[in-house]
């Protein structure tokens, strides 16, 4: 069985908000709403660190990282269990999705979601440009909406928009049930944590902290499972490949990972 999941490498994330912007664009997310947002883990405001500046010969304690946050596509999703009319449901492939024709707008799912990943269309949704953007139909007033892992792209064999558009290779999407997929390997290899793990929701979004991963050795915008050849570390090391060139540049900027 397919069970899609996402790995976000917080060591690689540069806080550029490309994932949030491409999500908004691709999914036609209304003005004033965000399905995907990049939070600053640090000070009280966006892009501010916590701690103190190095002054008077002291070592500074400044600390800041970014936490891109959207629907975690929980295995034990409280939003699915509370929906009175089966509008929110879990697909065979593990993606938690909303049937916008069924949703009655009771917002019990918003109360249930510990991550505040869901938004409600309080009024007639506004789009810029007015005809909307991206490849997803707009949702009407009075329903709840949220991240779908870009299921419309996944069904076409494409990675979610936020994954493809991450310039830092910090987002890796794939099948957690496939032991050979990059997501499965990273979950096994790296120090990962899941948001609010203690709540028992069993989320399928994993955050890498500590050691930086090499991202995913890209072949294109396709899902890994759609590729003719599986990407391998050896390939990534091929000095002539475009991928390796990109990686080498990244290494020059970020140092040896």
Partner 1 sequence: MSGEVTERSATSTVRSPVVSSFGTVSKVWLGHLGVLLVAGLGAWAYQLQQGLVVTGMRNVFSWGLYIMLFVMFVGLSAGGLIISSAPKFFHSDRYEGFARLGVLVSLACIIVAGLLILPDIGRPERLYQFFTSPDFRSPMVWDFGIVVLYGVLNVWYLWLLTRRDLAARGSRLAFGAEDTQAGRERDRTLLFWTAAVALPTAVMLHSVTGWIFATQVGRGDWFSPLVAPVFIAKALVSGLGLLLVVSILADRYTGFDADRDELTSLGKMLGIFLAFHVVYLLAAERLPHAWADHFGFWAITSEFLIGDSIYFWLWTGVGGAVPLVLLATPQLRKRLSVIFVAGVLAVFGTLFEGIRLVFTGYESVNIDAAPGISLGGEYAGVTTDIWATTGVYTPTVIELVVTAGIVAVGALIVTVGLRYVPLQRQTEQERYAADSGGGGCD
- Residue from 12, 27, 115, 166 that binds partner 1 (CB under 8 A)? 115
Binding of partner 1 by 18 (CB under 8 A): no
Helical segments of the chain, H only: 18-26, 78-82, 108-112, 151-154, 161-164, 182-189, 233-237, 242-254
Collapsed DSSP state (helix, strand, coil) of residue 122 = coil
CB of 5 to partner 1, least distance (A): 19
Closest approach of partner 1 to the CB of residue 226, in Å = 32
- Site residues for partner 1, 166-195, by CB under 8 A, read 195
- Rule CB under 8 A: say whether 14 interacts with partner 1: no
- The least CB distance from residue 99 to partner 1, in Å, is 9
User: Which SS3 state, helix, strand or coil, does residue 171 take?
Assistant: strand
Helix (DSSP H) and strand (DSSP E) numbers for the chain:
8, 10
Element of type H or E holding 193 = strand 192-193
Among 86, 228, 239, 253, binds partner 1 (CB under 8 A): 86
Q: 112 or 250: whose CB is closer to partner 1? A: 112
Task: Give the nearest distance from C-beta 131 to partner 1 in angstroms.
Answer: 21
112-117 CB contacts, 8 Å cutoff, 24+ apart: 112/78, 112/79, 112/81, 112/82, 113/78, 113/79, 114/78, 114/196, 114/199, 114/201, 115/69, 115/71, 115/72, 115/195, 115/196, 115/203, 117/35, 117/69, 117/70, 117/71, 117/72, 117/146, 117/147
Region binding partner 1 by CB under 8 A among candidate stretches 6-14, 114-122, 185-193, 248-256: 114-122
Interface pick for partner 1 out of 57, 116, 128, 256 (rule CB under 8 A): 116
Site for partner 1 in 23-42 (CB under 8 A): 30, 32-34, 37, 39-42
CA distance 144 to 50: 34
By CB under 8 A, is residue 48 in contact with partner 1?
yes
Of the candidate residues 87, 154, 164, 223, the single one contacting partner 1 (CB under 8 A): 87
Residues that bind partner 1 (CB under 8 A): 30, 32-34, 37, 39-46, 48, 67, 69, 78, 81-87, 102-108, 110-116, 118-124, 140-144, 195-196, 199-201
């Amino acid at each position: 069985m397919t069970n899609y999941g996402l790995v976000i490498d917080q060591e690689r994330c540069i806080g550029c908000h490309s994932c949030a912007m491409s999500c908004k664009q691709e999914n036609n997310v209304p003005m004033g709403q965000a399905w995907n947002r990049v939070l600053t883990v640090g000070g009280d405001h966006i892009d501010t660190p916590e701690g103190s500046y190095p002054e008077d010969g002291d070592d500074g304690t400044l600390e800041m990282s970014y936490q891109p946050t959207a629907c975690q596509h929980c295995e034990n999703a409280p939003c699915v269990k509370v929906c009175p009319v089966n509008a929110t449901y879990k697909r065979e492939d593990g993606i938690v999705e909303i049937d916008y024709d069924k949703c009655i707008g009771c917002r019990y799912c918003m109360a249930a979601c510990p991550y505040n990943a869901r938004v409600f269309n309080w009024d007639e949704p506004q789009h810029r440009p007015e005809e909307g953007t991206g490849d997803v139909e707009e949702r009407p007033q009075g329903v709840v909406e949220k991240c779908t892992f870009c299921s419309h792209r996944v069904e076409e064999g494409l990675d979610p928009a936020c994954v493809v558009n991450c310039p830092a290779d910090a987002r890796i999407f794939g099948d957690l049930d496939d032991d050979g997929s990059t997501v499965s390997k990273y979950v096994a290899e790296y120090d990962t944590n899941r948001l609010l793990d203690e709540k028992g929701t069993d989320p399928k979004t994993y955050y890498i902290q500590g050691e930086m991963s090499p991202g995913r050795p890209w072949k294109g915008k396709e899902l890994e499972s759609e590729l003719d050849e599986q990407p391998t570390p050896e390939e990534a090391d091929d000095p002539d490949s475009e991928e390796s060139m990109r990686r080498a540049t990244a290494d020059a900027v970020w140092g040896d990972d």
